[in-house]
A and B are shown apart, each in its own frame.
Chain A
Amino acid sequence: MSDQADNVLSVQNVDLGYGSLKVVFDASLTVKSGELVGLIGGNGSGKSTILRAVSGMIKPWKGTIHFDGQEVSGRKPHEMARLGLAHVPMGRQLFGNMTVHDNLLLGASLPAARDRRDENLEKVLTLFPDLKKYAREKAVQLSGGQQQMVAIARGLMLGPKMILLDEPSLGLSPLLVKDVMAAIRRVADTGMPILLVEQNVKQVLQVSDRAYVLENGYQVLDGPSSALQGNEMIKKAYLGL
């Protein structure tokens, strides 16, 4: 366990489920500092369930979750936010009738983030320069791709230790998916650890450092994304080659 120290997130042998239905079996994954890690699989593969366990919405039946050196299984979502986990949810959940500027400021609602709000806003706008143009527009008036950028930027306003991205490509045209993925890569290149949960396997393998593949609740593959891109099973099942 010598490499445990640089793991920002470490999920060890968790079983997860709802009611009496087990949907994830003995899953393990790690995200190290500065890594962009993909968690991919089709509908019902259990990837969203793992994400829910990490963000504190459900408690693991078995196994442990460590975040930033602490055991966190069973913590509530707002506690995870306080510990420095930014969750960019599926469907974005922006404040549609408020300005982009307000949306970004609201990302720093927690006291610790409030103290560094101006500093973080500047960083975020350097990373997403387009948002300066839309600052005074209502979030709902932006295109889906721009809205996704706002959602990621809002997550960064927390000044997090790690970001959790849930299906950022959902509902976007292929061209916009490319833009959003490039933006996610830019964020990762600043050293921000990211766990990216996606159905869009092809795009994730192109931008991520490593990836885990889930099928029917079982981890079937993991490794460097470049290696997975060449994997026969992945090619057949997800890339249509």
Chain B
Amino acid sequence: MMFDYVSFLQNLSNGVLIGGVYALIGVGLTLVFGVMKIINFAHGDFVILGMYCAVLLNSLLGWDPYLSLLVAMPLGFMAGALLQRLVLSRLMEAPPESSLLVTLGLALVIGNILLLTFGAEPKSVNVSYASSTVSLGKVSFSIILLLAGLATMVVIAGLYTVLNHTELGRAIRATADNRLGAELVGINTRWIEAVVFGIGMALAVTAGVVLIPLLFATPTFSGAIFTLKAFVVTVLGGLGNIGAAIAGGLLLGVVEVMGASYLTSDYRDAYGLLVFLLILLLRPEGLFGKTVKRV
């Protein structure tokens, strides 16, 4: 049998597009880790919050899910900044495991508030163009996947510009690099942390919104899955490195889609974890982490 290039390219493009969304989720997690040195176990639940934001605006006002980004992104930023000021800032002097407990607790609270509000049945938003495609040769691209990929690219490019070409970005990088040094030059690091957590949450809800035409949202279950994916993405690349998180996200997307297509789709979520284990076994520092020779 001849190798089917068309279906291979098809799977590759689907994998890259969905991987872009994973990258978006992972970038938020890795940015927060880089500056605050905490792993946010509620990150996946922020993604779900974005999904339900689109569901709510669609059912109440009939909004197109992509339109709800205009509300979800600023709201996500503000909610994140507020959460940092009111909850996480109290953990500054606390031992590291307390941030694990607090963010895990946050995940439970968010999941159960959603369960109480929306009920347990999976929700999605149907758009009229859900099954439309654009063809390039024999490969066809789903419109909603293309929009997801496009939104991801725009948001990540925006983040890159902020981090590398603005005063705020320089202050964020300085705080991630050396907190004491940042305080000594007069940077208000508590303010920077609030901004960074806000950005992390805004990225997560953005990912949720662009995923809702593709996936169902469930209140308490899918949050943990997205947190796990974000974790895989960031550790694949090396924690705290944004470029690496993007590469990790794309890799995870491609692995999942290829696995689902060529093996069996029942284990779609497992393929990512399998590759994750393999990579950690061979390169414990992550794909792009600095190699540390152990003696």
Binding site for B on A (CB under 8 A): 77-78, 81-82, 87, 89, 93-98, 102, 105-110, 113-114, 154, 158
Contacts and interface: CB of A to CB of B under 8 A. Distances in A.
Nearest to A154: B185
B119 interface: no
A82 B181 contact: no
Contact residue range for chain B?
10 to 19
B173 A78 contact: no
B173 A95 contact: yes
B180 A89 contact: yes
Contacts of B187: 106, 109
Contact of A77 (B170, B177, B181, B183): B183
Interface of B: 167, 170-171, 173-174, 177-178, 180-188
A102 B183 contact: no
29 contacts: A77-B183, A77-B184, A78-B183, A81-B184, A81-B185, A87-B184, A89-B180, A89-B184, A93-B178, A94-B181, A95-B173, A95-B174, A95-B178, A95-B181, A98-B173, A98-B174, A105-B170, A106-B170, A106-B174, A106-B187, A108-B185, A109-B182, A109-B185, A110-B185, A110-B186, A113-B186, A154-B185, A158-B185, A158-B186
Nearest to B180: A93
Given A89-B184, A154-B185, A109 B171 contact: yes
B186 A95 contact: no
A96 B171 CA distance: 14
A100 to B, nearest CB: 13
Contacts of B178: 93-96
A82 B186 contact: yes
B185 A106 contact: yes
A93 B181 CA distance: 5
9 closest Cβ contacts across the A-B interface? A93-B181, A110-B186, A95-B177, A109-B186, A81-B186, A109-B185, A109-B187, A95-B174, A106-B174
Contacts of B188: 78
A106 B184 contact: no
Nearest to A92: B181
A154 B167 CA distance: 16
B176 to A, nearest CB: 9
A158 B186 CA distance: 9
Nearest to B167: A114
